[in-house]
Each structure stands twice: as structure tokens, then as C-alpha cells.
């Protein structure tokens, strides 16, 4: 998502949230839940901000290994006027001490990707029944299986906090899909098309657009994410793209991903950026990046749909997730904000502006919860509010989370599978069935009403 806007959004959020009608956020207030956060970097702070604004949540503990991030997080807590949670820090396994607390109802994990699987597994083994993790679930296929097996063993919920599933346009289109406006769905496209050069490199102080350092000399994501571009070649961030379209075609709930293949271009963008900003003699100009600038992936689904995904983070470009949802009657193309439905669109072969369609089919969840204040206050245009709302409301009711461990595993598994496909010369590789056959019987209950 748009990281550059984060700091601005956070400040706006603090100012604006107080004018949201309190009755809304006080629904079910009697059922207060105690949450802990592992990782209060820039993303964890966004979650912290949103959680502190809820009357139904007590943040009782936070953990991080970076003093600066902890300082930023404690400033947010002080400003909120809420009690200071217990703080765990000092070493990379300090979170295990946090997990010894006996009164945690749920945990939110927002650490680097490589930490998600061990932190989820340890949380589940500590008896926590609601684990919300940032994208992605793990690194290897084995990681994904381990999380699925542990969640099943502990009868616990693992929800990947995929906020893109809650975009207002995405949910309106989901509503249209469910009302058969597009006919039978045939093909879907999406991607993570986000120029991350100014995130993958910085000066170790300012998070964005500030230098060409990474690793130990970098700050925030430059400290860890860039190493994945050095060592890995695949669709490293598939879930913002695939999550929303997977909910539209009932993946793991009557449908499933069967196989994929991936292609990667040569790698130029990150090297060129270092040379442009730091000069050709900068030591990082010698680094060889394995990640192709554009990785394209095709997925084949059990019910006959195909999905085309793109990962495009190293070249200059405006931000776009580029959703396309196409059926036997027509399609939505997010990139040109257009819809075309045969026999309904006024002009044959010409696009309609999506606006009237999206308003007509606005999802009940947005109709109920959104207002100007939530949109500006809750981050990423409101979706950060909705994803945490889903997690917290499910926890309060002790029901299944809106997105489950099978969604998280199948969507995240695209990364290791795409790496394998590229390594094998673009061979088509099979998806594991993380549901062990249950996909045939499970029902899609993602966002079926205005509750959460
Ligand atoms: N859904 C979205 O829109 C969105 C946006 C940004 C980031 N993210 C995801 O959020 C996660 C975190 O990203 P970020 O941007 O906050 O990165 P970040 O580097 O700013 O924050 C990560 C934090 O984790 C801490 N950490 C690392 N190892 C730790 C350990 N062993 N114990 C405790 N803390 C540890 C770091 O010190 C840092 O503060 C990633 O999975 C990222 O992909 C999602």
C-alpha cells in the first residue's frame, strides 16, 4: 500500500477519529478484548493507531527490537490517552516472553516476512486462538503447511490481515459478482504494481526516497525487504492482488487454485536506481539483484477461471493494483475506472464510467460503517479499519475470522510456487490443497452482511 502517505495519514487519523459517531465503535462494547502486538514498525504503528481508537479493545502488550520504533509506538499510545501496555524488547525472541502473558485474547503480528511463521506458530502453541498476521503467511511451502497444521491442531483462527479485500470498489464489485452482473466469471487480473525503489532503499533515518542504503544501514523495510530482492526471484507480494479476486471466485470454498507458472524479466530497476541516486561508485552499485523487475504469473482454477498476476516494484510507475474481473456478460477494469456490461451499457463496445455502478452496488459493510472521517482516519482510505474490524468482531463473538488460515496459505503460497516455476524454466507447478479436500464443501462467507 501507499507507505509514503502513512505518516500524514497517522497524524490526520489522530485528529479526525474523534468525530466518528461513537455509537458505531461502541457496538458490543461489553465484549472487550485484550490484544498484543508483535512488531510496531511503520505497519504495526498503523494497526496500533486503529486499535487504540476502538472502545472494545485493550492493547495490553507490545514487542519490538528497535528502540526507535518502540519510541514512535509509545508516543502514539501516550497521545491516545490509553494506558501504556507492557513492553517487551531486547532480543529477537523477546516476543516469547510476551506470549507467556495469560490474558491475551488475540495477537497482531507486523514484523518482517521471515518472522511471521515462527511468531504465528509460537502464538498458537501459547494457546492464543486469534492470530492476525500481516501479509504474507510465510516464506516456504513448508511454512504454510506448518501454520495450517498448527491452526487445525489448536482449533485456532489465523487471519492474514489482507486489507486490499476491503477496498470500497473491490467490495462493490464482489457484490456485483454475487448478483451475477458480470455473468459467470471467466478471468481475473490483479497485481502489486508499486514503485518501491524509495522504500527498498533509504538513508537509514527517513523511511522513503532518502538514499540508497539497505540491510543494517537501512530503516524500516529497507532493513529487511530489500534482501528478498537480492536473493529471491518470484512474485514476492501476491496477496494484495490475489486476495480480492480469490474472494470473488470462492477459492477454498467451492473452488481452488490448481497450478501456476511464472515468468520473470531481467533485473535492472534497483541497480539503476542506486547508480542514479548514489553514483556508480556506491558499494551497493555492485549488488546483484535476483528479483526480475516484472514477474508475471498465471493461475489455473478448479472451476475453469484463470488469474493473471503481476509483481512490478522496481521500475518508475504510478501505483496500481490493476484489478480486472471478467465474466460472460461483461467486465470491470479498475485501471481505467470502467465497466462494460453487454445489453446494459448504453454504447456497444464502449466503456461506462464505473462510478454509478459502484455506487449502486456499494457493499453493505461500507454503507454501514463508512463516513468521511473513517476514510481519512483509518488508513489506506478506510480499509485498515475494516480489516481490523473483521478480526476484532470475529474474536468478540468467538466465531471464525472472515479470512482464514486456508486463504492465507493458498494466497501466500503463490510466492514459493512462482519461485519454483521460474527456477524450473517457467514450468507449471501444482498448488497444494491446504484444505485437504474440504474446499469442495466449505461455503464462502466473506463479507456477506454489514456486520464485519
Ligand atoms: N497490508 C498493508 O497495507 C501493508 C503495508 C505495509 C507493510 N505491510 C506488511 O507489514 C509487515 C511489516 O512491515 P513494516 O512496513 O511495518 O516494516 P517495518 O520494518 O517498518 O516494521 C517491522 C518491525 O518489526 C520489528 N521486528 C523485526 N524482528 C522482530 C522480532 N524478532 N521481534 C519483534 N519485532 C521485530 C522491527 O524492528 C520493525 O519495527 C510486513 O509483512 C509488510 O509486508 C503491509
Domains 3-163 and 165-362+404-440 share a fold: no
Instruction: List the Cα angle 152/153/155 in 5-degree steps.
Output: 60
Q: Which atom of ligand 1 is nearest to the CA of 89?
A: 33
Give the Cα separation of 405 and 204 in Å (integer). 35
Q: Is the CB of 44 under 6 A from ligand 1?
A: yes
Q: How far is CA 238 from the centre of its chain?
A: 9
**Distance (Å) from CA 109 to ligand 1 centroid:** 8
Q: Is the pLDDT of residue 197 over 80?
A: yes
Give the Cα separation of 168 and 382 in Å (integer). 8
Sheet holding 86-88, edge to edge: 86-88, 57-63, 33-38, 106-109, 130-133, 157-160
Atom 8 of ligand 1 has which residue's CA nearest to it? 43
**Distance (Å) from CA 49 to ligand 1 centroid:** 15
- Residue 381 cell numbers, joined: 482510505
Work out the average pLDDT over 100-115.
98
Q: Specify the CATH class of 165-362+404-440 in words.
A: alpha beta
Give the Cα separation of 337 and 173 in Å (integer). 12
Percent composition of the chain: helix, strand, coil (DSSP 3-state, to 5): 45, 20, 40
Best residue among 36, 43, 201 to mutate for probing ligand 1, ranked by most atoms within 8 Å of CB: 43
81, with CB counted inside 10 A (0-12, 13-18, 19+), is exposed
What tens digit of pLDDT does each residue of 57-69 get? 999 999 999 999 9
According to DSSP, the β-strands at 330-333 and 106-109 are: unpaired
Atom 21 of ligand 1 has which residue's CA nearest to it? 41
Residues 6+ apart with CB under 8 A from 7: none
DSSP run (H or E) holding 131: strand 130-133
**Distance (Å) from CA 439 to ligand 1 centroid:** 31
3-state SS, residue 247:
helix
Q: Is the CB of 165 under 6 A from ligand 1?
A: no
Atom 27 of ligand 1 has which residue's CA nearest to it? 111
Q: Is the CB of 69 under 6 A from ligand 1?
A: yes
Distance from first CA to last CA of the chain, Å, rounded?
A: 22
**Distance (Å) from CA 204 to ligand 1 centroid:** 15
Residue 380, pLDDT score: 77
What tens digit of pLDDT does each residue of 287-300 get? 999 999 999 999 99
Residue 375: pLDDT band (50, 70, 90) is low
DSSP H stretches of helix in 203-253: 221-231, 239-248
Give the Cα separation of 305 and 428 in Å (integer). 16
- Residue 42 cell numbers, joined: 511503520
Q: Which atom of ligand 1 is nearest to the CA of 46?
A: 16
Residue 15, pLDDT score: 28
203, with CB counted inside 10 A (0-12, 13-18, 19+), is middle
What tens digit of pLDDT does each residue of 304-356 get? 999 999 999 999 999 999 999 999 999 999 999 999 999 999 999 999 999 99
Q: Is the CB of 434 under 6 A from ligand 1?
A: no
- Residue 258 cell numbers, joined: 490448481
Residue 26, pLDDT score: 45
Residue 31, pLDDT score: 85
Q: Is the CB of 95 under 6 A from ligand 1?
A: yes
Residue 370: pLDDT band (50, 70, 90) is confident
3-state SS, residue 192:
strand
Residue 9: pLDDT band (50, 70, 90) is very low
Q: Which atom of ligand 1 is nearest to the CA of 380?
A: 3
**Distance (Å) from CA 380 to ligand 1 centroid:** 16
What tens digit of pLDDT does each residue of 130-156 get? 999 999 999 999 999 999 999 999 999
Secondary structure (DSSP) of 356-398? HHHHHT--HHHHHH--HHHHHHSSGGGHHHHHHHHHHHHHHHT
Q: Is the CB of 214 under 6 A from ligand 1?
A: no
Q: Which atom of ligand 1 is nearest to the CA of 63?
A: 33
- Which residue is listed with cell 516455476? 421
Q: Is the CB of 115 under 6 A from ligand 1?
A: yes
Residue 381: pLDDT band (50, 70, 90) is confident
Superfamily of domain 3-163: NAD(P)-binding Rossmann-like Domain (3.40.50.720)
Rounded to 5 degrees, what are φ and ψ at 19? -95, 5
- Residue 396 cell numbers, joined: 468478540
Q: Is the CB of 197 under 6 A from ligand 1?
A: no
pTM of the model as a whole: 0.94
Q: What are the boundaries of each domain within the chain?
A: 3-163, 165-362+404-440
Amino acid at each position: 500500500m501507499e507507505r509514503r502517505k502513512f505518516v500524514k495519514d497517522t497524524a490526520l487519523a489522530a485528529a479526525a477519529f474523534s468525530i466518528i459517531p461513537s455509537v458505531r465503535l461502541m457496538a458490543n462494547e461489553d465484549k472487550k478484548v485484550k490484544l498484543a502486538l508483535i512488531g510496531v514498525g511503520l505497519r504495526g504503528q498503523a494497526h496500533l493507531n486503529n486499535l487504540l481508537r476502538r472502545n472494545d479493545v485493550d492493547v495490553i502488550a507490545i514487542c519490538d527490537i528497535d528502540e526507535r520504533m518502540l519510541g514512535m509506538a509509545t508516543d502514539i499510545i501516550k497521545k491516545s490517552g490509553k494506558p501504556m501496555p507492557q513492553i517487551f524488547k531486547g532480543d529477537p525472541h523477546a516476543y516469547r516472553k510476551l506470549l507467556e502473558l495469560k490474558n491475551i485474547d488475540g495477537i497482531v503480528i507486523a514484523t518482517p516476512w521471515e518472522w511471521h511463521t515462527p511468531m504465528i506458530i509460537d502464538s498458537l502453541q501459547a494457546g492464543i486462538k486469534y492470530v492476525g498476521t500481516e501479509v504474507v503467511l510465510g516464506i516456504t511451502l513448508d511454512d504454510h503447511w506448518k501454520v495450517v497444521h498448527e491452526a487445525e491442531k489448536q482449533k485456532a483462527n489465523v487471519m492474514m490481515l489482507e486489507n486490499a479485500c476491503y477496498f470500497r470498489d473491490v467490495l462493490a464489485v464482489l457484490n456485483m459478482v454475487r448478483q451475477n452482473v458480470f455473468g459467470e466469471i471467466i478471468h481475473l487480473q490483479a497485481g502489486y504494481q508499486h514503485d518501491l525503489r524509495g522504500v527498498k532503499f533509504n538513508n537509514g533515518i527517513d523511511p522513503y526516497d532518502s538514499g540508497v542504503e539497505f540491510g543494517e544501514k537501512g530503516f524500516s523495510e529497507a532493513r529487511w525487504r530489500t534482501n528478498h530482492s537480492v536473493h529471491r526471484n518470484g512474485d514476492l507480494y501476491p496477496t494484495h492482488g490475489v486476495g480480492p479476486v480469490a474472494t470473488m471466485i470462492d477459492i477454498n470454498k467451492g473452488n481452488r487454485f490448481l497450478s501456476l507458472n511464472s515468468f520473470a524479466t531481467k533485473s535492472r530497476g534497483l541497480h539503476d536506481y542506486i547508480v542514479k541516486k548514489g553514483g556508480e561508485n556506491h558499494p551497493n552499485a555492485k549488488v546483484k539483484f535476483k528479483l526480475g523487475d516484472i514477474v508475471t504469473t498465471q493461475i489455473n482454477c478448479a472451476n475453469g477461471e484463470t488469474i493473471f498476476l503481476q509483481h512490478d516494484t522496481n521500475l518508475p510507475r504510478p501505483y496500481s493494483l490493476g484489478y480486472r474481473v471478467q465474466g460472460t456478460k461483461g467486465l470491470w477494469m479498475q485501471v481505467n475506472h470502467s465497466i462494460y456490461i453487454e445489453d446494459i451499457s448504453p454504447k456497444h463496445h464502449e466503456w461506462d464510467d464505473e462510478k454509478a455502478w459502484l455506487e449502486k452496488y456499494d457493499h453493505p459493510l461500507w454503507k454501514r460503517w463508512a463516513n468521511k472521517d473513517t476514510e481519512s482516519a483509518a488508513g489506506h482510505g478506510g480499509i485498515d479499519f475494516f480489516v481490523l474490524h473483521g478480526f476484532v468482531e470475529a474474536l468478540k463473538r468467538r466465531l471464525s475470522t472472515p479470512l482464514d488460515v486456508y486463504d492465507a496459505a493458498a494466497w501466500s503460497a503463490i510466492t514459493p510456487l512462482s519461485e519454483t516455476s521460474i527456477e524450473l524454466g517457467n514450468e507449471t507447478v501444482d498448488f497444494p490443497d491446504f484444505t485437504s479436500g474440504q474446499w469442495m464443501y466449505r461455503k464462502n462467507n466473506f463479507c456477506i452482511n454489514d456486520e464485519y
